[in-house]
A and B are shown apart, each in its own frame.
Chain A
Amino acid sequence: MAIRSFFVPFLLLVLWFYSSLSPVLSLYEDQVGLMDWHQQYIGKVKQAVFSTQKTGRRRVIVSTEENVIASLDLRHGEIFWRHLLGSNDVIDGIDIGLGKYVITLSSGGSILRSWNLPDGQMVWESFLQGPKHSKSLLLLPKHEIDCINVVQTNLKIEKDNVIVVFSNDRLHAVSCIDGEVLWKKDFETESFETQQVIQPPGSDLIYVVGFAASSQFEMYQINARNGELLKHESAIFSSGFLRELSLVSSETVVALDSTGSILLTISFQNGEISFQQTPISNIVEDSSGPAVIIPSSVPGIFAIKINSVTIFIRVIGKGKLEVVEKLNQETAVSNALPISESQQAFALVQHAGSEIHLVAKLAHDWDANLLKESIKMDQQRGIPHKVFINNYIRTDRSHGFRLLIVMEDHSLLLLQQGAIVWSREDGLASIIDVTASELPVERDGVSVAKVEHNLFEWLKGHMLKLKGTLMLASPEDVAAIQSMRLKSSEKSKMARDHNGFRKLLIVLTRAGKLFALHTGDGHIVWSHLLHKSEACQSPVGLNLYQWQVPHHHALDENPSVLVISRCGPSSDAPGVLSFVDTYTGKELNSLSLDHAVVQVIPLPHTDSTEQRLHLLIDSDKHAHLYPKTSEALGIFKREFSNIYWYSVEDHNSIIKGHALKCKCTGEVADEFCFDARDLWSVVFPSESEKITATVTRKLNEMVHTQAKVMADQDVMYKYISRNLLFVATVAPKGSGEIGSVTPEESWLVAYLIDIVTGRILYRVTHHGAQGPVHAVFSENWVVYHFFNLRAHRYEMSVIEIYDQSRADNKDVWKLVLGKHNLTSRISLFSRPEVITKSQSYFFTHSVKAIAVTSTAKGITSKQLLIGTIGDQVLALDKRFLDPRRSVNPTQAEKEEGIIPLTDSLPIIPQSYVTHALRVEGLRGIITVPAKLESTTLVFAHGVDLFFTQLAPSRTYDSLTEDFSYALLLITIVALVAAIFVTWRLSERKELQDKWR
């Protein structure tokens, strides 16, 4: 009795305590930004137009290679507004019309849009069609240049301003006000390729120049008012042209002949075409090799590039050419900027070691420099690629210049008065690969000094927090506490934390630059541009691998990553390996390989310094082992016969399996090189099936158990194999866009293939289904997403694979005594008996990417992370995709957690991981396990970056952020007081009893 009398109130207390911890799936408003961060980027700038009117905010409009048009603040580089056009809506040109509209031409010149400059609202959109695809050119007559003080009044062509667009082999004149096409003009000449559309200032004429049939120069003169063809001239130059023109004046262009050794000055004054030939060797003494014209628009001057030397040449009337300057460094030339009625300025940016030199000149006066500055530049930014110039009027009425520079790493910088005003790391908009790395272990003494440094602040902070927990804080205090939580230095500390939340995300961008992002707040810890070497001038980054992950005995070594890059765009170009220290960002070593890298297989073995063995497959199907040490070779030889790989040839629908044979024979005599043999091949009938998606399990995925326990205590054994491949094929007809085929003509076949033996374990056909297929493979299940043409809806299917050969391990006593074979190593050459269960559900969204959460030990239940078409990440519990769901689950099944079957998957608004944010242009979702089993770190990247922590089964192993410590404290105090009081009471009662 005594036990219970104590137990019951205790139980009640605990129960009350539990009920006060109400379960939360989603975030509270004040938790936004605590564990997540979001960064907005735009990508590599292709074109920039400044808008620096006297009134209104100064801004620059940019278009980028990620198909973003954005308006940036010139003072700080922040984004005012931004629009991401689709991936097949590539921007061809942008400009500003009437000083208040941003005009964009996109989609190969077929869509012309106008956006409101201050807020980015779309004003109008028009579709421009034409007979055939061609170069797209956008031309806005610049009559109202208001950055200069001259207002030109004589140039009102129409009542409203006209945009001249050449696209799809047709010339259009479009009204700037409403996007209405005023007139259009076709060109009859066969194979006419337009190169330039020119409108001489102050005239009503439009010149359209280009080439036809490689050796014919064509010129059309058109009336700008009504599109009437005034004149058509053509001239033949026997040795042909290179397809590039440089405009030197409104009636002169410069071209190169097909060998790249003769400069041709073509003038078409008054409609008469005349050629002037100048061999390059005549004006440049030591020229060797073919020349290339650098596109520029500086009047009177053009630039050519021979090898790596940039040569500026001036045209002095009647086709006379004169070299004005030769520059040996990498140089970028800006657009021409009219600074007064007759003067145009332009800028040159040269790269020289750790500095860049800026020069601004007047077009007609080469020797006078308007601006000459040198600015220290981070070497990791590489060389300048593009420069855009803009001017402002200083207080003394002289011209000042600001330059917008795009660097090799795709970053964007604004330079003014010899300093970098702001910079944007826009390379992060195009991430290719991501991997995670640990931070250094914390050293003693560092954090203590920091605390002592601002002890007062620390005390104040804790006082505020105490106030907050005791609900005594005023609204100002609450705001202060919130900002303190958001800026907590604990978050962005450069040391490992106990829970493993703080890590480094190592990302490789398309520009070939590595960044290390801190998971706490997303700041860039270091960045490293892949080095150019003698052997490789332009390495293209491909992939990232964990090279060395030290733990235990090798803790004093820094972890490193392996960057695989390729020397040039073709697939058989030699590869380059770079090893980068993840703590410091220093390149430890770089190897230029003599073979290509087609596939990389990280092996499950490490050497004594914890370097992971990697097998690199080249284009001749030789396997090369790295690191090239005898120790690695020793380890590798032991596992030699157990290593297999597969290759997918998606163009001819074949999947092949390979194994290692022997040491390389023939000319490549190398101890670390091995020949391969083909083991098996799966050939899909090319007339009915085409591979669209292949997925395997993630290499580092942890699985906790092989058993799945049913409601009735029965056990099913999961078929957990790393050597399973999911392949989805679609009918070749149905590989196009959704809706291009009828349901009868389209199908989707899903396969599960054993990589080692090539055995097809499962095959299922979805009739009337169409791609694109997105799939994710984890543990013993695959989830894939496709379009159902009959139901006109998207569908998600799940396949779960179970091992039937172990199903008879049911004797408890055998299991107790350990007499079973469930943990013995298995070979895939023993015939597996598998059964599969599958189910399909409708899903509302189309999908950009699918990932699955991963935790340290694989105990926590899984969630699917779905990148939706709205660029958000949706977390969907795996329990919704359970093939054992039925319409009426039994009581036992309900207890097990099986959800009654519904035809479509629910989308719960609270389960959007990205809450109110959007990850524009979402491309990939990466999950990294934290050290805390319940938590997984999620990184979504596209044009934007987003990072957060997720706990799919809630944080069962730690107290949540909103845990009420005050309540706990009060409870403890109350309990102690109660114990004391009851003790006194009982003593008194005993005494009274004794006196009775």
Chain B
Amino acid sequence: MEKGKGVMGSGRRWAVDFSDNSTALSSRDIRDPPGFTRASVDQDDSTVSRQKKDAESNWKAQKAWEVAQAPFKNLLMMGFMMWMAGNTVHLFSIGITFSALWQPISALQGVGKVFEPYKDGKVELLGPKLLFIALNLGGLALGVWKLNTLGLLPTHASDWVSSLPPAQEVEYSGGGIPL
């Protein structure tokens, strides 16, 4: 899930922009070299940068979808782990179940942050976000289901009755064989 961010953000350390788009007079005190026509360059440059921007937003959208689909792999992984852990309550199965519950919750909390790098006016992020949320909710559901199969959810009458103290009796009695 961190991959896209890595490529876009910290992956590019430095850059030099060779295209000088400035048209301000102050930057024109150096004359253009002979044979260089600014107009064509300007025009050419703008098309190139637009193309580039399109490619980037495409790339961003593609990445966003990828990130949104990432929990699916997790889901499969989790399912496998749960199957391995079995249905008896012991430390291992409880640990796995709780990590299965914790991961989607923490992921859901950080939905905004995950899609931060792809935030762009042009990129439609709603779809990937919804998918991401849905998949994480699926993971959460899987965790709850596992919790239930372990018998840790109070869904039975027995779970509520066990803690009730025995009923008091109105009458009191004693006695026995004479001393």
A and B part of one assembly: yes
B166 to chain A, nearest CB (A): 4
Q: Which residue of A lies closest to B168 (CB)?
A: A825
Q: Which residue of B lies closest to A598 (CB)?
A: B178
Within 8 Å by CB of B178, from A647, A696, A703, A809, lies A647
Task: Tally the A-B contacts, defined by beta carbons under 8 Å.
Answer: 153
- Kindly list chain A residues whose C-beta atoms are within 8 Å of the C-beta of B178: 571, 598-599, 647-648
User: Contact between B172 and A827 (Cβ–Cβ < 8 Å)?
Assistant: no
Q: State the CA gap A707–B165 with chains docked (Å).
A: 9
Which of A715-723, A876-884, A905-913 contacts its partner? A715-723
User: Contact between A15 and B167 (Cβ–Cβ < 8 Å)?
Assistant: no
User: Contact between B164 and A543 (Cβ–Cβ < 8 Å)?
Assistant: no
- Kindly list chain A residues whose C-beta atoms are within 8 Å of the C-beta of B170: 642, 825-828
Does B99 lie at the interface of the complex (its beta carbon under 8 Å from any beta carbon of A)? yes
**B155-175 with Cβ < 8 A to chain A:** 155-175
User: Contact between B158 and A709 (Cβ–Cβ < 8 Å)?
Assistant: yes
Within 8 Å by CB of A811, from B157, B159, B166, lies B157
* Contact status of A816 and B160, CB under 8 A, knowing A11-B92, A822-B167, A825-B167: yes
Encode contact with B along A810-829: 1 for CB under 8 Å, 0 otherwise. 11100110000011111111
User: Contact between A815 and B160 (Cβ–Cβ < 8 Å)?
Assistant: yes
Interface residues on B, range: 20 to 34
Q: Which residue of A lies closest to B163 (CB)?
A: A705
Within 8 Å by CB of B164, from A3, A564, A706, lies A706
- Kindly list chain B residues whose C-beta atoms are within 8 Å of the C-beta of A645: 173-175
**A809-857 with Cβ < 8 A to chain B:** 809-812, 815-816, 822-829
Does A600 lie at the interface of the complex (its beta carbon under 8 Å from any beta carbon of B)? yes
Does B95 lie at the interface of the complex (its beta carbon under 8 Å from any beta carbon of A)? yes
User: Contact between B103 and A721 (Cβ–Cβ < 8 Å)?
Assistant: no
Within 8 Å by CB of B173, from A600, A644, A811, lies A644
User: Contact between B169 and A755 (Cβ–Cβ < 8 Å)?
Assistant: no
Does A713 lie at the interface of the complex (its beta carbon under 8 Å from any beta carbon of B)? yes
User: Contact between B165 and A705 (Cβ–Cβ < 8 Å)?
Assistant: yes
User: Contact between A755 and B173 (Cβ–Cβ < 8 Å)?
Assistant: yes
* Contact status of A826 and B169, CB under 8 A, knowing A571-B178, A600-B179, A809-B161: yes
* Contact status of A639 and B172, CB under 8 A, knowing A706-B166, A811-B157, A823-B164: yes
- Kindly list chain A residues whose C-beta atoms are within 8 Å of the C-beta of B99: 3-4, 7
User: Contact between B169 and A825 (Cβ–Cβ < 8 Å)?
Assistant: yes
**B126-175 with Cβ < 8 A to chain A:** 151, 154-175
* Contact status of A602 and B174, CB under 8 A, knowing A7-B95, A812-B157: yes
**A716-763 with Cβ < 8 A to chain B:** 717-718, 720-723, 755-756
B164 to chain A, nearest CB (A): 5
- Kindly list chain B residues whose C-beta atoms are within 8 Å of the C-beta of A208: none
B93 to chain A, nearest CB (A): 10
Q: State the CA gap A186–B57 with chains docked (Å).
A: 129
Does B177 lie at the interface of the complex (its beta carbon under 8 Å from any beta carbon of A)? yes
Does A974 lie at the interface of the complex (its beta carbon under 8 Å from any beta carbon of B)? no
User: Contact between B179 and A642 (Cβ–Cβ < 8 Å)?
Assistant: no
Q: State the CA gap A895–B88 with chains docked (Å).
A: 9
- Kindly list chain B residues whose C-beta atoms are within 8 Å of the C-beta of A755: 173, 175
A903 to chain B, nearest CB (A): 31
User: Contact between A713 and B156 (Cβ–Cβ < 8 Å)?
Assistant: yes
Does B91 lie at the interface of the complex (its beta carbon under 8 Å from any beta carbon of A)? yes
Does B59 lie at the interface of the complex (its beta carbon under 8 Å from any beta carbon of A)? no
Q: State the CA gap A564–B179 with chains docked (Å).
A: 10
Q: State the CA gap A699–B155 with chains docked (Å).
A: 35
User: Contact between A599 and B161 (Cβ–Cβ < 8 Å)?
Assistant: no
How would you classify the secondary structure of chain A's contact residues: helix, strand, loop or mixed? mixed
Q: Which residue of B lies closest to A696 (CB)?
A: B176
User: Contact between A603 and B169 (Cβ–Cβ < 8 Å)?
Assistant: no
**A637-675 with Cβ < 8 A to chain B:** 639, 642-648, 650, 658
- Kindly list chain A residues whose C-beta atoms are within 8 Å of the C-beta of B156: 713, 715, 812
User: Contact between B166 and A718 (Cβ–Cβ < 8 Å)?
Assistant: yes
User: Contact between A707 and B161 (Cβ–Cβ < 8 Å)?
Assistant: yes
User: Contact between B177 and A648 (Cβ–Cβ < 8 Å)?
Assistant: yes
Q: Which residue of B lies closest to A812 (CB)?
A: B157
Q: Most chain-B Cβ atoms within 10 A of its Cβ — which of A542, A599, A829? A: A599
Does A445 lie at the interface of the complex (its beta carbon under 8 Å from any beta carbon of B)? no
User: Contact between B179 and A542 (Cβ–Cβ < 8 Å)?
Assistant: yes
- Kindly list chain B residues whose C-beta atoms are within 8 Å of the C-beta of A658: 175
Does A110 lie at the interface of the complex (its beta carbon under 8 Å from any beta carbon of B)? no
- Kindly list chain B residues whose C-beta atoms are within 8 Å of the C-beta of A3: 99, 102-103
- Kindly list chain B residues whose C-beta atoms are within 8 Å of the C-beta of A824: 167
Q: State the CA gap A602–B99 with chains docked (Å).
A: 55
Does A360 lie at the interface of the complex (its beta carbon under 8 Å from any beta carbon of B)? no
A274 to chain B, nearest CB (A): 52
21 contacts between A and B (CB under 8 A): A3-B102, A11-B95, A597-B179, A603-B174, A639-B172, A643-B172, A644-B171, A645-B175, A699-B174, A703-B165, A705-B162, A707-B161, A707-B164, A723-B173, A756-B171, A812-B157, A812-B160, A823-B165, A823-B168, A826-B170, A828-B171
Pairs A-B, 5 closest by C-beta atoms:
A601-B174, A645-B175, A815-B160, A713-B156, A707-B161
Q: Besides A755-B175, A816-B160, 15 other CB < 8 A contacts?
A: A3-B99, A7-B99, A18-B91, A604-B172, A642-B171, A644-B173, A705-B166, A709-B162, A713-B157, A722-B173, A810-B157, A812-B156, A812-B157, A822-B164, A828-B171
Residues of B participating in the A interface, judged by any CB pair closer than 8 Å: 88, 91-92, 95, 99, 102-103, 151, 154-179
